[in-house]
Amino acid sequence: MRRLGLGSLALCVTLGTGCQLILDTSPGEEPNNGIAFSYAGDALFDCLFGCDLSTPVAVGATSTVLIEDDQPEASFSVRVPASVHADYTETFSCERSLPDGSVESRDVGAEEPCQRGEDRTSFREVALMPSKEGLFTLEVLDDSGEVLDSIDIEARLPTSAAVQSQDGTILDAVLLHRGATLSVSTELFDDGGTMLYLDGLDTFGWSSGDESVLTADEVFFNLGPSTSADLTAQGAGTTTLTFNALGVSTQIPVTVQ
């Protein structure tokens, strides 16, 4: 069993004896079915309250979509075109409020009932990787294969990238003092300058033109590599920081004093 602290309930509204998270979501084609969609969020997109699906996703990158619903007892599946790779997961839990205000949660099977005093919850997400540009449809199916809801998602090719600091400032150049560190990440854009959503890349790389001046170490999260790097100023001089992914490359000059 695991306990969820009060922070896990901070974005809830009370509904009877339970609560429901308030998220910034996109409705599907059948809004009366109680299903909504949102991006999971990453280092570039702050999705504490969810991110709706208005932002296009990057072709060749993984983008995770959360499926919110009011049917925690039901088992779903998803369907996408052959041009999109999809990994769907769903988990079910039984939760009980404790006297100290925390919540005790235990995982259960899809057909396993909760005990008296417990509330059943579900968590569903699908990791999508489109291989070509254009709109594609994500369909949610019930256990009989009938379509419950669907939503269109736009995939676009990334054509440029930018390096940014943790506060979201786009960096054209970096000035560091010897021994200093700086965390950076990247944004990918289409040919019209629209930022593209993504959670992860299978292949990408950070490099320094002179590691005696600057080193760039990729940052790994619990789920795997991110598109972030930790920079460390090693010695005085100038060099170039380079990021490569999906055929897109960007470089910025770095000076260490």
Contact 231, 179 (CB under 8 A): no
pLDDT tens series, the chain, 257 aa = 333 332 333 344 433 334 444 457 898 998 888 899 999 875 455 555 568 899 999 999 999 999 999 899 999 999 999 999 999 999 999 999 999 999 999 999 988 999 999 999 999 999 999 999 999 999 999 999 999 999 999 999 999 999 998 888 899 999 999 999 999 988 899 999 999 998 877 778 899 999 999 999 987 654 444 578 999 999 999 999 999 999 999 999 999 99
List the beta bridge partners of residue 147: 141
Contact 243, 170 (CB under 8 A): no
**Contact residues for 190 (Cβ-Cβ < 8 A; gap 6+):** 56, 156, 157, 158, 159, 196
Nearest to 120 by CA among 77, 89, 88, 91: 91
Q: Which domains does the chain have, with CATH numbers?
A: 2-156 (2.60.40.10), 160-256 (2.60.40.10)
Distances (CA, A) of 51 to 7, 55, 133, 141: 19, 9, 21, 23
DSSP string, 61-126: SBEEEEEE-S-TT---EEE--TTEEEEEEEEEEEEEE-TTS-EEEEEE-TTPPPPTT-EEEEEEEE
Confirm whether pTM is higher than 0.85: no
Averaged confidence pLDDT in the chain = 85
pLDDT at 221: 56
What gap in Å lies between CA 186 and CA 138, rounded to an integer?
27
Per-residue pLDDT reduced to its tens digit, 97-125 = 999 999 999 999 988 999 999 999 999 99
Contact 108, 88 (CB under 8 A): no
For residue 222, give the DSSP letter.
T
Determine the number of helices (DSSP H) and then strands (DSSP E) in the chain: 0, 21
pLDDT at 204: 83
